[in-house]
Structure formats: C-alpha cells, structure tokens
Chains A and B, each alone.
Chain A
Amino acid sequence: MENLVYIALFAPFVGSLFAGLFFARSPKNIVVGVVNSALIFISLLASIALAIHVVEHGAIHVTMMDWITVGGLHIPFGFVVDEVSVTMMVVVTMVSTVVHIYSNGYMDHDKSFNRFFSYLSAFVFSMMVLVMSDNFAGLFIGWEGVGVCSWLLIGFWYHKKDVTPDINPAISPSYAANEAFIMNRIADLGMLIGIFLIYWNVGSLQYDIVFEKLPHLGDGILVAIAMALFIGAMGKSAQFPLHTWLTDAMEGPTPVSALIHAATMVTAGVFLVIRANPIYSLDAVSGVSYFIAALGTFVAFFAASMALVNRDLKRIIAYSTLSQLGYMFAAAGLGAYWIALFHLAAHAFFKALLFLGAGNVMHAMNDELDIFKMGGLKKVMRGTYLYMGVASLALAGIPPLAGYFSKDAIIETAFNEGTYILWFALVFTAGLTAFYSFRQVFLTFEGEERYKKFGFHPHEMYRYVLIAMSPLAILAIITGWFKGSFHEFIIRLLPDYEMSHHTHHNAWWLGLLVLAFAVTGIIIAYMKYARKGDKAFKQDKEVESGFLYKLLINQYYIPAFYTEYIVKPYSALSDKFWSIDKAVVDATVDFIAKVIYKTGDRTRVIQNGNLSSYLNWMGVGAVLLILASAVAVVIG
C-alpha cells in the first residue's frame, strides 16, 4: 500500500520533470501531452485503489524520511491517506486527468505546449502534497507550491502587453499573475503566523499531536490560531476582501481556470478548515466559526450579484466559483464539515466541466469571451451545449444532479442551526445562481446568432476532447446519488452532522423553496435571453446606465478602490524608500566598489613592462619584509 501512496504522489512529479527537463526548448511534442496525461491517469488509478483500501481497512500513514530535525524541531516528511485526504486525492486526480487530456486539444496550436504540461503536472504534484501531508509544514509546502504553479500558469501568456483596465480589467496575464501571487502572500503571512502559534504552543506540527493537545490550550491562543489559519484560507479560496485576484486569474489558459481556479486549488482553503476541524469545532472558537459561516454566506451572495451583469464568459464562471466557495465555507463554519467536503467534490466536477465547456466555446470563437457577441451556438456545438447545460443544471441545484444534493444540504444546515438570515441569503443566492448560469448558457447557445455580424466561424471541439469530458459530465450527474454512502464513509474521520427532527420535518418545503427559486431564475433567464425574433435579447441602454448596473459591473468599485487607496499610496511610498535606498545602501556599496576600482587604477602603473622597475619594486618588498620581521622580533 505504501508504494501506491508514492505512485499517486510522484507520478505527476515525474510527468512535470519529463516535460520540463527534456522538452523545455523543443517545439510542440505530442509525446509530452500523452505521457503526462498517462502519468496523471496512473495517479488517479492509484488514488482510487487507495480509496478502496481506506474504505476497507482505514487510514494509511507513511513516513518517507526525516525532513527537518533541528534541536527540538522535528518535522518528518510524512503522508497520511485517510478519509478526507483520499477524497481530495480522487477529486484532484480525476479532474486533472480530464483537464490534461483536454489540454492536448485546447493547447494544440500553442507554441509553449510542452511548458504548459510541465507546469500543469507540477501543479497536480503540489496539490497532492498539500492534501496528503500529515503535518502543517508539508501542507504549507504544498500550499506555496500550488501558489507558484498558479502564478506560472496565470501568467502563461506573459508576452501579452499591458492594457488599460477599461479594455481588459485584468490589465495583462503577467499583471494578473502578480496580483494573485501578492494577494496570496498577504494571506499566507496569516497562515504562517497560525503555524508558528501552533508550534509555539504545542511543540509539534503533526496533525494528530496538534489536535490531541489543542483542547488544553488557552481560549485566546485557540482563537488566534483559528483566525490566523482562516486568513490563509481566505487568500487561497479568494474570500472577501482578498477575492479580486480570482476573476483576474481568468487570464490564464482555460484548462488552468478549470483545474486550478475552480476545481482544486481554490478549494484548498476549504480543505484547510475541514482538515483543522478539531480546532474550529471547539467551543472557544465558535465565534470564529460563525464568522466563517457569515463571511461565506456574504461572499456567496456578493459574488453571485456581480455575476448577474458580467459579459465575460469566463468571469461569470469565476464569480460562480467564488459564490460556491462561499457556500462551502458557510457549511464548514456551521460545523457541517462533511457537507462542505461533499459540496467541494461535487462542485469540482461540474465546475470543471463548465469551464472546459467555456474553453470549447472560446476555441470555437477565436478566444472571444463576450457572450453578447455569441448566441445560437447550439447548432454548431451540440456536444458542448449538452455539457454546459448539464453543468449549469448541476450548479443551479436542479435534482437529480450533483449540485442539488450538496447545495441543498448546506442550505438545510443553515436552517437547522437557526441562522435564518444566513439561510435566506443562501436560498436567495441559489436563485441568483440559477439565473446567471442560465443567462450565460442561453446567451451563448440560444437566441439569435449574433456572432455572424462579427464574422466568426465557430466549429465544434475535437471529438476525443468531447469524449474525454464525459466522465466529468457523468460525475456531475451522479455524484449526488452517493451522498448517503459518502456520509457513512467520511464521518469515520469528520464529526457527524445530522439535521434535527424539526428540520427533518420541514425538509420537504425547504427543498421545494430552493428549487422554486432556482427554477424561477432559469425561467427568467429563458424569457429574457433565449428567445428569437421580436422577443430576442437586446442591450438595454437605460438599465446599463443605472446605478446598480454600474456598481455591479465595476465589481462594487473594489478593484478601483484597491488601486486608488492601496496600490498607489504603496507605490508612492516605495518610490520614497527607493530614493532613500539609493542614497544610503546603494551609495555605500558604490563607494566600496569605487575605492577598489581607484586603487587598482592607481597601482596599475607598477605593471609597466620594465624589468628594472619590477626589480625596484621587488627590492622595496624585500626591504619591507625584512623590516616587518625585524619589528616582529623586537616586539615579540
């Protein structure tokens, strides 16, 4: 079994090295794509085998080697495959496999094909380290690893020039990559402080030891640890106020958006909260947990509202990712960790599918993203329409698809906890979710064929790519059906969460209410965007000049606020420091260099090629040496 753990972990790493070391400078090579996809698939098979093993025999714990042993600090390089991590492993490798195969088609014409696979596999490896590590240090390594890979992949098309924010809100891929990385640095500081606090107070970073000793710590320390770790989670999972990087991260290639910025990396924050559930379920930190739930609910609504008006295909999906992450945090904050993990898995499948569908549309439309320029694409892209329709139905929470089971459970949890404000906000957001996801689908695939005006000639994606996407579509449909068995499996590790009798009693109308909101959202979207002829969708200038629309399309002016009040003062301050730096540090260094340079310049005349003067200098040296030894003798 130990070997399977290493295969699952290192197969992606081998793929990354294979592509990176041997093909970095060569032109596109299909071997790279095939080998890397195969290695990820091997990792998937190993993960599934491990999952079966965990179901039957329980968790596996391996220690590969001692990593850091300094004084009292002892951190082994160990991995734990238990119920939570094996779920994550299967989800990550599943989505990764599909995305790798998909990328073979999507990145077909890109000259950096090999580089792309090297990064993508490196990401999968980092993510596996993150979820499998048995201590906080290993988790942090994976955490930073996925951050770096995310940076590399958002900025994948680094050659694109910077443009002004009104043409492209993300300015350029490199700018977006830096934004994501820097914003994550801010949050990672919180995470590091949390880890330091844990080590300081517990003396170990191993999960089992930490969770065993935690209840004996003081309340203040526990709250500080919980807050600090959650700040880290907020950055990685793009929760308010660190959310702006996620939509700008859509500058990366679409497979990257599907894998990293929807299905796996951004859920790492949720994973951290689930993993650290013994901290968050303590009574002392109930305030923090409630804050997590409230913030999650707020982000769910906040992101959904921005998705309502956006015209960019990928950004709409990015907002919906944000919104769904909010749902997961709401569940985790309310103590329903297993429901959060369940929604995480279900969401990974249908959101990745949605993104890959969007990638097909982009591929067909020459990278055009404005849904107002599409419409009626269902004629040419039947397969993609089907996939995106299924994914959107799952996202909207229509039974019997995956999203219905997981999202409904979260909403029910909010009701069960008696937090009716959160509950209503989540129900209302479910309606918004259904509306904006179908607004996007209908604007893209139904209605008038607006793209003809712009001279596009859309075409369907390669057949093998569509076939490769089918596992995700199937999973987006069926995942929900295994809620019962997943529950039984996962509560062996995570605390159980059961609805009260009262909630059970009301479950039927709660579910119906959510469904009613969702269906209403879809119907409104249909009426407004899907029809043809007289009733076809037209841009309404009056609405678009309204305050609310302006507020939403400008993302509540938060990016502008950040630019104006954080970025600009900070760069002004940095300029000041730069001039001080030049006057003090640079000047000192330059002075030393100048002294040495001048000395060399002056003494160079000694080397004049004349033997006689060399001999004179030699004589001077000899006399000096004799004098020195004489002095030494006299003194000594």
Chain B
Amino acid sequence: MIGISHYLILSGLLFSIGFMGVLRRKNLLMLFFATEVMLNAVNIAFAAIGNYYGDLSGQMFAFFIIAVAASEVAVGLGLLIILYKKYHTLDLDVISTMKG
C-alpha cells in the first residue's frame, strides 16, 4: 500500500536531487532544470499532504506554484537567451563579472 510517507520520501529525494543540482551545476540552463525539480518536489508534497488531510488548499497551492513556475521559466528563458547572445556560453565560471 502506498501511503503518505512514500510520497514524502519521493518529494524529499527529488528536492535533494534538485538542491544538489543547484549547488553543483555550472550551466545556467541546468540550474533552471534543478530549480524546476525542486519546485515539483514541493508540489508532490503539497498534493500528498492535501489529500491526506482531505483539504483542498494543498492542491490549490500546487496549482499556484505551477503557474508561477511557468511564468518564471518564460521570463528566465528570455534572459538566458540574451545572456547567451552576449557571452556565447551559459557557464557560470565564465559569466562572473561582479567581483568583490
């Protein structure tokens, strides 16, 4: 029987994978993918817990997050294209102009 804990473990695993991606990846596009993975990990947790408690607000939040993530990707990808046009790469080690 698949219970709440399985969903939460899946969500935690996905979140950790996304988090590691954010930390380790050097390519901006890959960073985007990693954040999307993290967002969807959270979505799974929301939906699962919402179902567990019989409360719809968890699923509502998941929808909101999907909407926000979509718009974020729309804006973010646009910026990425501009960055790529400017530097001809998306490698973060190359695009590091703000030296302290």
Contact = CB atoms under 8 A, between A and B. Distances in A.
Interface of A: 604-612, 615-616, 619
Given A610-B96, A615-B22, 9 more contacts: A604-B100, A605-B100, A606-B100, A607-B100, A609-B96, A610-B93, A611-B92, A616-B23, A619-B22
Contact of A611 (B19, B95, B99, B100): B95
Contact of A612 (B92, B97, B98, B99): B92
Contact of B100 (A608, A612, A615): A608
22 contacts: A604-B100, A605-B100, A607-B99, A607-B100, A608-B96, A608-B99, A609-B96, A609-B97, A609-B98, A609-B99, A609-B100, A610-B92, A610-B93, A611-B92, A611-B95, A611-B96, A612-B93, A615-B23, A615-B31, A616-B23, A619-B22, A619-B23
A615 B19 CA distance: 10
B19 to A, nearest CB: 7
Contacts of B25: 612
B21 to A, nearest CB: 10
Contacts of A615: 22-23, 31
Interface string B66-100: 00000000000000000000000000110111111
A430 to B, nearest CB: 83
A609 B31 CA distance: 17
A118 B86 CA distance: 66
Chain B, interface size category, equals: 10 to 19
A605 B100 CA distance: 7
Nearest to A612: B92
Contacts of A616: 23
A498 to B, nearest CB: 89
A615 B25 CA distance: 10
The CB with the most chain A CB atoms within 10 A, among B23, B25, B28, B31, is that of B23
A254 B39 CA distance: 87
B6 interface: no
B7 to A, nearest CB: 21
B19 A619 contact: yes
A606 B100 CA distance: 8
A343 B41 CA distance: 100
Contacts of A607: 99-100
For the complex of A and B, the 5 pairs showing the least CB-CB separation, nearest first, are: A607-B100, A609-B96, A609-B98, A610-B96, A609-B99
A605 to B, nearest CB: 8
A604 B99 CA distance: 10
A604 B28 CA distance: 24
B34 to A, nearest CB: 10
Contacts of A610: 92-93, 96
Interface string B7-31: 0000000000001001101101001
Contacts of B22: 615, 619
A616 B95 CA distance: 16
Nearest to A603: B100
A608 B100 CA distance: 5
Contacts of A605: 100
Contacts of B19: 619
Nearest to B97: A609
A605 B96 CA distance: 13
Interface in B46-77: none
Nearest to A622: B19
